[in-house]
Amino acid sequence: MKLLDTLDRPLRDLRISVTDRCNFRCTYCMPKEIFGKDFAFLPRTDLLTFEEITRLAQIFVTHGVEKIRLTGGEPLLRAQIEKLVAMLAGIDGLLDLTLTTNGSLLTPVKARALKDAGLNRITISLDSLDDTVFQAMNDVGFPVEKVLGAIDAADAAGLNPIKIDMVVKRGLNEASILPMAERFRYSAHIVRFIEFMDVGSTNGWQMKDVVPSAEVVRLISSVYPLEPVEANYEGEVAARWRYHDGAGEIGVISSVTQPFCGSCTRARLSAEGSLYTCLFSALGHDFRQRLRAGATDAELGDFLSSVWSLRTDRYSEIRSENTTPRKKVEMSHIGG
């Protein structure tokens, strides 16, 4: 049974966080000042087990989900995640199974294990090719070359097409836009330039720090002419642009300046089993308690239906400077 919310948006995409932990401290996501050595992450017993995740995923697919993306935190910190991938890959009706990672733990062996388990594609975050800038942004001194090695490992394992996500923040890494485009032209990898967003309440977001996607497109197109491309599917987050000379394509994600709430089909399941119906939600809906209290699949499906049918979220369409102090769940808790 497919579900529709109050704005007639279907539920098609599920992002599952498998851990709230990360080994990076990216300034736009998990700033070290907040997520320091004394920060209390979830205890292991609070995390959904692989069996619980798979059971919920099956119910979500029954209700219309076609694509699942595994996120974190950093999902490769979850031990033996390839076992979860294999379990999810066996769900009848699931059309696409992907994962987003910072690449730090993506060795050739791990990439092959994920592919063999049934992972279709992978997205790797890389905010600059300039090592000084990149290390300042991840704030743990992790070098660019190791992420580039992870991209090569994913490519060799066949986790294609690889998407490379770059969050662009004014005054920090906008000088890296053109080098990123140049580096991955003709590679078949797709760089996606993401506007700096006010996810959560700890990253110090201000509108003046946003580099609009239109500016990104103009900059790249002034050197390598671009033309717009139709979306691959209804509700696709990234607007697609391809190079006139056939060198591939880029994407831009414009949640701030060109909101796409009207076509949003995504829900997010946190590592401890709370469902969030928007990236900018304040409160989740507790599935773990129901799971562990013995709820049947039908009861869990009814709960999902009740949550989604009441969904009204359109935060990015109503965002203003006055909305940013609102308490919101952190991106590190529910993935991007």
Beta bridge partners of 165: 125, 192
Which value, to the nearest 10 degrees, does the dihedral of the CA atoms of residues 70, 92, 285, 302 take?
Answer: 170
> Domain 13-334, what fold?
TIM Barrel (3.20.20)
Residue 320, Cβ neighbours under 10 Å: how many?
Answer: 7
* pLDDT (0 to 100) of residue 332: 66
Angstrom distances, CA of residue 36 to CA of 21, 77, 219: 12, 18, 37
Q: 252 and 238 in contact (C-beta within 8 Å)? A: yes
Closest C-alpha among 267, 266, 270 to residue 52: 270
Q: Cα dihedral angle (138, 201, 235, 284), rounded to 10 degrees? A: 120
Q: Classify 307 in phi/psi space as left (phi over 0), alpha (psi -120 to 50) or beta.
A: alpha
- pLDDT for 282 equals 77
Within 31-186, where are the H helices? Answer: 50-62, 81-89, 108-117, 131-138, 144-157, 177-184
Rounded CA gap, 59 and 121, in Å?
22
Residue 329 has pLDDT above 80, yes or no: no
HSE-CB for 133 with a 13 A CA cutoff: 19
What is residue 28's predicted lDDT score, i.e. its pLDDT?
A: 86
pLDDT exceeds cutoff 90 at 94: yes
Give, in degrees to the nearest 5, the angle at Cα 151 between 150 and 157: 90
- Residue 317: pLDDT band (50, 70, 90) is low
Mean pLDDT of 25-40: 90
Asked if the model's pLDDT at residue 322 lies above 60, the reply is no
The CA distance from 76 to 176, in Å, is 26
The pLDDT value recorded for residue 261 is: 83
128-164 confidence digits (pLDDT tens): 999 999 999 999 999 999 999 999 999 999 999 999 9
Q: What confidence tier does 15 reach under pLDDT thresholds 50, 70, 90?
A: very high
Q: Note the pLDDT of residue 328.
A: 54
The strand ranges marked E within the chain are 13-17, 67-71, 96-101, 121-125, 163-168, 190-195, 226-229, 239-243, 249-253, 266-269, 274-276, 285-286
Tell me the domain boundaries of the chain.
13-334
- Residue that has been written with the tokens 């029954």 in this structure: 62
Residue 65: the pLDDT is: 98
List the structure tokens of 316: 């990015």
pTM of the complete model: 0.93
pLDDT class of 331 with cuts at 50, 70, 90: low
Taking the CA atoms of 211, 215, 217 and 223 in sequence, report the sign of the dihedral they define.
Answer: negative
